Homo-oligomer: A and B are copies of this chain.
Amino acid sequence: MLARLLNGDRRALARLLTRIENQDTDAVAMLTALYAYTGRAHLIGVTGAPGTGKSTLVSALTRALRERGRTVALLAVDPSSPFTGGAVLGDRVRMRDLAGDSGVFIRSMASRGGLGGLARTTRDMARALDAAGFDFVLIETVGAGQSEIEIARLAQTVLVVEVPGLGDDVQAIKAGILEIADVLVVNKADRPGAENTVRALRTMLELGHAAARERLRADFTVEDRVENTVLSDWMPPIVQTVASEGRGIGAVIEALDAHRAYLRSNGHWEQIERRQLELELLHRLRDGLLERLLDQLSMGEIGAVIDQVQSRAIDPYTAVSRMLAETTMMIDQSHSER
């Protein structure tokens, strides 16, 4: 199956993605085998509020990349709801004319509950698409919020889509997303107010850019332990498009290529990957250690502790300290050189 995947077999790829999404146990074996073939694709997160024409832009971008001979995989992540399935599917219909092209691969994924699980599944799927040899992996997220920020951390380049003339309070929310933008697109730029929007975005970027980026990446839970990352002096370009007519798409591609060239020229590409891998390892270790502890404790024992906490006989902080104090951890690295 790995050989077929590396040879461009799309059915093998689709099957693997399904296994990753379902968290099948054999997905890990496949991911283990294909990991050596990763690290070549340009991963691009595409995000923006609903109504910005994000999906139309992604379609136009995909078409334009294909015209330039580059292959594209699109992963559309919908972290919301069973209700929204229809809407996302509707957007995908616009991609139908790309369906016969083996240089394009499109996959929608629904969220499975928690954000941690979603980010992990998305990362593994992007990894499979990377190994399958696509030049670009576009990770399109619906909505605007913390989920976008988490998913943006999977990409090398984050493209944020805006439109002219959104109200002030929407503007405030959008600001959160500006912090993660490497390339800004003002879509529907034939609408009134496009120039004003560009100017406002430019001002916000210039005022808040450095401080915001530093802040965004400064503070986590596990992530406290990871060295602080890649303070970039890249100033996001703002590109105006009318995606429905294909206008400005060439300039978007140039901006993406320029960002990749920038990251590659100064070692940031490797630093970003390193930080992503470090976080992944720490998260996996953390989950693995808990798993190990839970295997040794019965759910009944944990239940007894929770009984005490719920009855206020003990507080959760002390309960956890006590459980940790009762746990001895030893690391034997004598075999680590095999």
Contact surface of A with B, Cβ cutoff 8 Å? 28, 31-32, 35-36, 38-39, 50-51, 79-84, 86-88, 112-117, 120, 142-148, 150, 167-170, 172-173, 175-176, 178-179, 204, 207-208, 211-212, 215-223, 225, 270, 273-274, 277-278, 280-282, 284-290, 292-294, 296-297, 299, 301-302, 305-306, 309-310, 312, 315-324, 326-333, 335-336
CA–CA, A328 and B296, complex, Å: 12
Partner of A178, one of B81, B286, B336: B81
- Given known contacts A204-B83, A212-B82, A306-B274, A222 and B175 CB-to-CB distance under 8 angstroms: no
- Whether A332 contacts B326 in the complex (CB less than 8 A), given A39-B312, A215-B113, comes out as yes
Q: Are B84 and A289 within 8 A (Cβ)?
A: no
Check A84–B293 contact: CB distance below 8 A: no
Contacts of A208 in B (CB 8 A): 81-83
Cβ contact of A172, chosen from B83, B170, B204, B294, cutoff 8 A:
B83
Which residues of B are found within 8 Å of A318, using beta-carbon distances?
32
Q: Given A312-B35, A326-B335, decide whether A220 and B281 contact each other with a Cβ distance below 8 A.
A: no
B residues within 8 A CB of A148?
145
Q: Evaluate whether A87 and B169 lie within 8 angstroms (CB atoms) in the complex, with A280-B316, A316-B277 already known.
A: yes
Question: Contacts A114-B219, A333-B326 given: A176-B81 contact, CB under 8 Å?
Answer: yes
Q: 7 shortest A-B CB distances, which residue pairs?
A: A145-B145, A80-B176, A113-B219, A83-B175, A35-B315, A87-B172, A289-B289
- Point out the residues of chain B lying under 8 angstroms from A176, CB to CB: 79-81, 83-84, 143
**A326 x B331 contact (CB < 8 A):** yes
Asked if A285 contacts B324 (CB within 8 A), the reply is yes
